[in-house]
Structures are given as C-alpha cells and as structure tokens.
Amino acid sequence: MIGDRLRQVRGNEKQDVFASLLKVNKNTLGRWERGEGVPNADDLKYILELYPDINPSWLLIGEGEMRRNVPYPEPEVFNIASNAKEDPLPYNELPELNQRILKLMSVFDLDDSEFCNRLGMDEIELVKIKAGRPVSGLVIRAVAFEFGVRLRWLKLGELPIKSQAVVDHGALDVWGSFEAAFIEKRDKGE
C-alpha cells in the first residue's frame, strides 16, 4: 500500500513536519498513510522531486528497491557540462531551504569546494542548490548533521536554529549571532 511506503519515506520525521515539507495538511498525510486516500499526481511528482533518491516504481506500485541505484536519473543531470553552466538564481529568488543552506556556507566562511568536501557531496549538487533546484533529503540531513542545525529550521525556518547536539562553544557563539540576525531580519519582514 502506498501509505506504508510514504511512512517509510518519512522515516523518523514527525508527521506534521513531513506534511509541511510536502505542502499538505497533516490530516491528509495521515489519511494517505492509513490507506484512506492516495496522493494525486502532482503530490506524487512533488514527493519525488523532494526525494530524488526514491525509486518512483517502488513508491507508486511497490516494485524494486526503495532507493535508486543512481540518485538522479534525469538525462540533463548526466550532462555535467550543462549543469555546471546553470546560472545561479539571485539569492532572494531561491527557495528558502536553498537560501538557508547557502547562508550556512557564509556563516562558516566556506568556499564551494570546502562546503562540498565537508558534506561529502559532489560540487554539481551545490550548483543545483544555487540554481534553485530541489534539494535531496540526503543532502538536507547531511547539512543538518554536519552544521548542528535543526531539521525544522533548515526545512521550515522554525527557531531555534541550532541542534541541542551542538557542544562546540565556538559554534554556539556563531549560532547565537546567526540566530539573532535571523530573528532581526524576520521581524523586519525581509
């Protein structure tokens, strides 16, 4: 049943957070997970854009493995030269998730290659983030873990920013300043 597979995609994420990420009501997600309804085509497409490592055949009909062997099978992704030329969007036109990821690069004063090395990801992923493309769940979780930020802040912008797991006092000072600036900007409506 597709509801069981959606629950597997959600993993340990709270239902309300996952529903917000999918841009559906928590009750709608609950009905899907209980088998009382199914996502429409647009919802399914959006889920697969958010989680490009999920095998569409597995999600839709339960065939094959949950994860794809190749995370991004779209033909244009294999053309690294065309992706490398993909123009970055102006910062204020990027999706908020992408903005928050790039803000972390700035806060920690990392260049592109340092940021990618720290996360263990290919630089093409960063090119896609800068171009406003959807960010995979694996990258989101890696960013949250590596930089000690809460998934709820990274995905939804909810405060506080830092994870309780952050124990580095230097990092705590950075987060205090960053969070104060974030609150000030939010309160000004920027």
Q: Give the pLDDT confidence score for residue 186 in this predicted structure.
A: 67
**Which domains are present in the chain?**
2-61 (1.10.260.40), 86-188 (1.10.260.40)
Summarised one tens digit per residue, pLDDT across range 25-44 is 889 999 999 989 888 888 88
Separation CA 174–CA 171 (nearest Å): 5
Summarised one tens digit per residue, pLDDT across range 93-122 is 888 999 999 999 988 899 999 999 988 888
Q: Give the pLDDT confidence score for residue 48 in this predicted structure.
A: 83
Q: Give the pLDDT confidence score for residue 17 in this predicted structure.
A: 83
Q: Regarding predicted confidence, which is higher, 53 or 186?
A: 53
Spatial CB neighbours of 185, under 8 Å, sequence gap ≥ 6: none
Token couple for 42: 């647009």
Q: Give the pLDDT confidence score for residue 33 in this predicted structure.
A: 92
Summarised one tens digit per residue, pLDDT across range 129-183 is 998 888 888 888 889 888 888 888 888 888 777 766 544 444 445 555 556 666 6
* DSSP 8-state class, residue 54: B
Give the DSSP letter string of 107-175.
HTT--HHHHHHHHT--HHHHHHHHTTPPPPHHHHHHHHHHHTB-HHHHHH-PSP-B-TT---HHHHHHH
pLDDT more than 90, % of the chain: 14
Spatial CB neighbours of 73, under 8 Å, sequence gap ≥ 6: none
Q: Is the peptide bond before 160 cis (omega within 30 degrees of 0)?
A: yes
CB of 153 within 8 A of CB of 99?
no
Separation CA 17–CA 10 (nearest Å): 9
Summarised one tens digit per residue, pLDDT across range 48-89 is 888 888 888 888 888 888 887 654 444 444 444 444 456 778
